[in-house]
Amino acid sequence: MAPARDFYDVLGVSRGASQDEIQRAYRKLARTYHPDLNRDPAAEERFKDISEAYAVLSDPQTRQRYDAFGPDFRQVPDDMDPDTWRRARAGAGAGGRGRPGGGRTVYTTGDPGDLGIDLDDLLGGLFGGRGRGRGPVPGADQEAEIPLTVEEAYHGVRRTITIEGIDGPRTLDVTIPPGVISGQRIRLAGQGGRGSEGAPSGDLYLLVRIASHPRYRVEGRNLHVTLPLAPWEAALGTSVVIGTPDGEAKVTVPAGTSSGRRLRLAGRGLPNPRGKPGDLLAEVRVMVPPKLSRKERDLFEQLATVSDFDPRKGQ
C-alpha cells in the first residue's frame, strides 16, 4: 500500500504557509484539475486529493491535529496527547509482537508496566477503511475579470456578464457596489463550477480592473487629475472649478503656485463603504499661450523688465 501523501505537498505549500497561501494554492490547482474544466481521467483523482488536502489545512483546528498526528489524525482520540501517540508509534515500529493465530496486533511502548496498546482500537480501523471513495466533490471556484470605468467604480453599476463554462457560456446579472478598486474581488456565492453528486457549487470571484481614463489616473482610492493654469493664475492665485466623478468641485490655487504642485481635495476620490474615502489630487501645470497677441507680448516684455525673479537660481 502506498503511503499517504503529505497534504502540504499535495497543495505545493510549506508547512508554515498562511491560510491565504493555502487558499490561493487550492484555487490555482482547482482551476487546473477540476473535472468540469479538465477531461483527463486522472484529473478527477488528482482533484479529490487536492480537495481533501484543502479541507484539512483550511480549518485551523483540523490542521493543528494533522500537524500533531500526521495522516492518522482522524482516528486518534480527541484526548490523546501527541507525545503518547509518538511513543506508541515508535513502539509499533520497534518492538511489536503479533497475537497468535493471526489475531489483532498489540504493541508495547517499552515503558515498565505498559500493558500494551491495541492499534486497531486506537486507529479505529484506519487501514481497513483506507482507499474507499471520498464521496461528492465540491465545485471549483472560478475567477473572471470585470473592467469598469472610473465613474462606474465610483457610483456602482449593474452589469450583465457572460461566463464560459464546461457546458458553454452562461449569462449573469451582477451588481457592482460603489467604491470598488482595481484588484478587489467580488464574491458571488454558488456561481462557480458545479459540484458532483449533489455537492455544492463553487464560488465565482469577479476581479475588478478599472480601465484607463482620459482625465483621471487612479491610485488606490485616490484620483489624480492635471490642472492647467495660465501664468497669471499661478502667480496671483485663483479659484478654479474642476470636474470630479461626483460633479463639479472648486479648488483654491494659492498665489505663487508652480507647475508640479499638488492641490488636494479631501474625500473627493473613490468612496469607501467601510472607511475613509480617497482624495482627489490636482497637479498644477502652468501653460503659456502658444501664440501671443501684440498686447500680450508687450505685457510679458514689461514683466521681464521689472521682475528680478530667476527660476534657475540655486540650481
Q: Is residue 136 part of a domain?
A: no
**Residues 209, 211, 216, 218: what is their CA dihedral angle, to the nearest 10 degrees?**
20
Residue 123, domain extent: 7-129
Query: In angstroms, how far is CA 295 from the centroid of its own chain?
Result: 61
Q: Among candidates 33, 34, 49, which has minimal Cα distance to 139?
A: 34
Order across the sheet with 280-286: list the strands: 217-219, 222-229, 280-286, 262-265
Rg (CA), the chain: 34
Q: Is residue 312 part of a domain?
A: no
Enter the pTM of the model: 0.56
Torsion sign over Cα 37, 42, 45, 50: negative
| Tens-place pLDDT, residues 78-111 | 667 777 766 666 665 544 444 333 444 333 333 3
The total number of structural domains in the chain stands at 3
Domain final position from 97, 129, 161 = 129
Predicted confidence (pLDDT) at residue 256 exceeds the cutoff of 90: yes
- Hey, what amino acid is at 157? V
Q: What is the CATH number of the domain that holds 288?
A: 2.60.260.20
| Tens-place pLDDT, residues 286-299 | 999 999 999 999 99
Domain final position from 99, 129, 159 = 129
Query: Cα–Cα distance between 62 and 52 in angstroms, integer?
Result: 12
Residues 160 and 273 in one domain: no
